[in-house]
Amino acid sequence: MFLKIGIVLVGLLSVTPIMLFVERRGSALLQNRLGPNRFGPQGLLQSVLDVLKFIFKEDRAPGHVNKFYFSLAPLVVVVPALMTFAVIPFAGNDFIIANLDVGILYCFSIASLGVYGIIMAGWASNNKYSLLGSLRSSAQMISYELTLGLSIVGLIMIFQSVKLGDMVSAQGETLFSIGGIDVPKWGIFLQPVGFILFLVSSFAETNRLPFDLPEGEAELIAGYHLEYGSMRFALFMLAEFVSMTVASALLSTLFFGGWQYLPGFSWIAHLFSDGNIAVTYLVSTLLHGISFVIKIASFMWFFVWVRWTLPRFRFDQLMNFGWKVLLPLALLNVFVTGLLIYLGVL
């Protein structure tokens, strides 16, 4: 239990420096620049410097803020972001911190707590831009949570379970075979529309571009974390990257088979299975973990890639898109999935 918590916590916390590097260097490369490449090979140690800078900066609260909520807000943002990972199996179904019966519902309920931290930060900062940013974030997160929830209803109907472990196990089966290549029963093949809806609304939930209206540096300076500096600001950043990781983990768990092997991995596992149960178990667990990490990493890169490609939405466009496009599509998706299940196709 504690081992699993340790693995997940270390993994999630080390995501931040890695993503700091990927974000800076990736953004530079996508924009024909080079990015920080001086400290360490290819600038790999740059994020160490970034973290050191955050630690040694003066932890200062401006005079006009509400001190209690001001210092509470970063924690309220970070803790739910970290907690969400508890129900996600990361290397085989044994490796799950809490195998709750509510599963995915727990994820959504905890993830939506994060918005309280953002509202708290905006309100306690006593600054009009912060408040506007947090107002936007509350409106945005509430409207996109609907789509987020509805987009996986189809999957729940197909897999007959809300437990993520069951869902991943079910995705290990073969959907159909073409010429010897088995197409696995991954969520994306069963629910392509649901996948796109979930992807878009998870972008909105993690406040990433093109949905980063709460931060919107062009019009709101920095939004809800405007008055924050040093480690408190770093906590907001950590929360953003952790919720990105959780969103990527959910995307790969629900739609890309979670810890199920990537194509080719079962062959590697077959090489090492020499009858010794312990070795086989160890190798398969390791390969499951690596598959999961690779899936998460590619989604993380996708997040960065999209961030440096798309411009931000206008607020009315955001609301129109959420309520008039995504929500009806999600409802339609649920209806069609139900119809197909009733007809016995799925």
Does 305 participate in binding other proteins (rule CB under 8 A)?
yes
Nearer to other proteins, 30 or 319 (CB): 30
Nearer to other proteins, 109 or 309 (CB): 309
Does 30 participate in binding other proteins (rule CB under 8 A)?
yes
Does 196 participate in binding other proteins (rule CB under 8 A)?
yes
Which pairs from 64-72 meet CB under 8 Å and 24+ separation?
64/126, 64/127, 65/124, 65/125, 65/126, 65/227, 66/123, 66/124, 66/126, 68/124, 69/120, 69/121, 69/123, 69/124, 70/121, 70/124, 70/125, 70/227, 71/232, 72/120, 72/124
Does 332 participate in binding other proteins (rule CB under 8 A)?
no
The pair of structure tokens assigned to 68 is: 């209690």
Does 310 participate in binding other proteins (rule CB under 8 A)?
yes
We find the least distance from the C-beta atom of residue 40 to other proteins, in angstroms, to be 16
Q: Which residues 32-51 are close enough to bind other proteins by CB under 8 A?
A: 32-34
We find the least distance from the C-beta atom of residue 32 to other proteins, in angstroms, to be 5
| One of 3, 31, 174, 278 touching other proteins (CB under 8 A) | 31
We find the least distance from the C-beta atom of residue 310 to other proteins, in angstroms, to be 6
Burial of 146 from C-beta contacts in 10 A (0-12 / 13-18 / 19+): middle
Cβ atoms 258, 292 nearer than 8 A: yes
Nearer to other proteins, 55 or 310 (CB): 310
Q: Which residues 311-330 are close enough to bind other proteins by CB under 8 A?
A: 325
Separation CA 330–CA 187 (nearest Å)? 15
Separation CA 12–CA 6 (nearest Å)? 10
User: How many chain residues are in contact with other proteins, going by CB under 8 A?
Assistant: 14
Count of C-beta atoms within a 10 Å radius of residue 101: 10
We find the least distance from the C-beta atom of residue 206 to other proteins, in angstroms, to be 17
Nearer to other proteins, 92 or 210 (CB): 210
Does 29 participate in binding other proteins (rule CB under 8 A)?
yes
| One of 308, 323, 331, 346 touching other proteins (CB under 8 A) | 308
Burial of 14 from C-beta contacts in 10 A (0-12 / 13-18 / 19+): exposed
We find the least distance from the C-beta atom of residue 327 to other proteins, in angstroms, to be 14
We find the least distance from the C-beta atom of residue 218 to other proteins, in angstroms, to be 19
**Which range binds other proteins by CB under 8 A, 28-36, 58-66, 87-95, 239-247?**
28-36
Binding residues for other proteins, rule: CB under 8 A, are 28-34, 196, 305-306, 308-310, 325
